[in-house]
């Protein structure tokens, strides 16, 4: 079993920000929102009330990585659409460069490995200038509850020798590099190049209705452009779920 180590995280990070390591917490996003810093990182070994998108929970046992970055975002209001996509790029890049695993980004902010989700991202605002970017990664979680088994994967088996502290440092460095460079959105090219659904047939569920279409583009604001029998649709994150059509 691996251990979270504050020195390993900070020593491997190019950016200097306060880091809080917790053993157990309801939600690292909730904890990070209450901090009074411009930038801070909160990482926990497990969460008792991990939050997911669309009011769902996030399964958060020991063995996963649960972290939240509190960050002052330049021109927060204009840059909101890019916070989520930048986190997806940061996680994807780090996993790819450290482990060379075959991961891809499923619009808008899930990371998939061989058809299953290994990471989810939940961004919230802390106040008008600060965002909380919550990242959950199934790092070494091999025992999922039945209802998740079909959809969730882990990067490694539970007895891995791989060190999550290095992955954490690299993700936060990647993420801060992008955020501190906004409004430069050139990272969106990487996002598109590594998309799971671009140029594929997809099923979209919105307002309790499911329809199909082809994902033809992701625009400069991160919106998904889908060609449907009813015409072109532009989807922004909101209450939408999307899956590949078999």
- Contact set with ligand BTN (CB under 6 A): 27-29, 47, 50-53, 56, 58, 66-68, 110, 120-122, 134-136
The residue whose two tokens read 């840059």 is 79
**CA nearest neighbour of 68 among 124, 138, 2:** 124
Residue nearer to ligand BTN on the CB measure, 76 or 88: 88
CB of 64 to ligand BTN, least distance (A): 8
Residue nearer to ligand BTN on the CB measure, 181 or 241: 241
Residue nearer to ligand BTN on the CB measure, 47 or 170: 47
Residue nearer to ligand BTN on the CB measure, 194 or 227: 194
**CA nearest neighbour of 225 among 246, 210, 204, 194:** 204
3-class SS at 237? Answer: coil
CB of 230 to ligand BTN, least distance (A): 28
State which residue has the least CB distance to ligand BTN.
120
The residue whose two tokens read 């880091």 is 19
Q: Which two tokens stand for residue 201?
A: 């047939």
CB of 52 to ligand BTN, least distance (A): 3
CB of 137 to ligand BTN, least distance (A): 8
Contact between 130 and 75 (Cβ < 8 Å): no
**CA nearest neighbour of 134 among 177, 171, 97, 189:** 171
């Amino acid at each position: 079993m691996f251990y979270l180590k504050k020195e390993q995280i900070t020593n491997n990070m190019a950016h200097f920000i306060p880091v809080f390591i917790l053993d157990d917490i309801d939600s690292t996003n909730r904890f990070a929102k209450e901090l009074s810093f411009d930038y801070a990182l909160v990482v926990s070994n497990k969460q008792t009330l991990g939050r997911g998108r669309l009011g769902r929970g996030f399964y958060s046992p020991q063995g996963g990585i649960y972290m939240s970055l509190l960050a002052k975002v330049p021109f927060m209001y204009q840059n909101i659409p890019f916070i989520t996509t930048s986190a997806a790029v940061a996680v994807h890049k780090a996993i790819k460069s450290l482990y060379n695993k075959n991961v891809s980004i499923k619009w808008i902010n899930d990371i998939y490995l061989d058809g299953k989700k290994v990471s989810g991202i939940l961004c919230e605002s802390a106040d008008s200038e600060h965002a909380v970017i919550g990242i959950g990664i199934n790092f070494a979680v091999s025992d999922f509850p039945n209802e998740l088994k079909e959809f969730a994967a882990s990067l490694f088996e539970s007895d891995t020798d791989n060190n999550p502290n290095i992955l954490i440092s690299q993700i936060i460095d990647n993420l801060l590099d992008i955020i501190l460079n906004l409004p430069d959105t050139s990272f969106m090219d990487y996002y598109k190049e590594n998309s799971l659904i671009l140029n594929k047939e997809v099923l979209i569920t919105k307002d309790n209705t499911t329809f199909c279409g082809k994902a033809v583009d992701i625009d400069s604001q991160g919106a998904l452009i889908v060609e449907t029998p009813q015409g072109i649709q532009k989807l922004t994150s909101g209450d939408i779920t999307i899956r590949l059509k078999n």
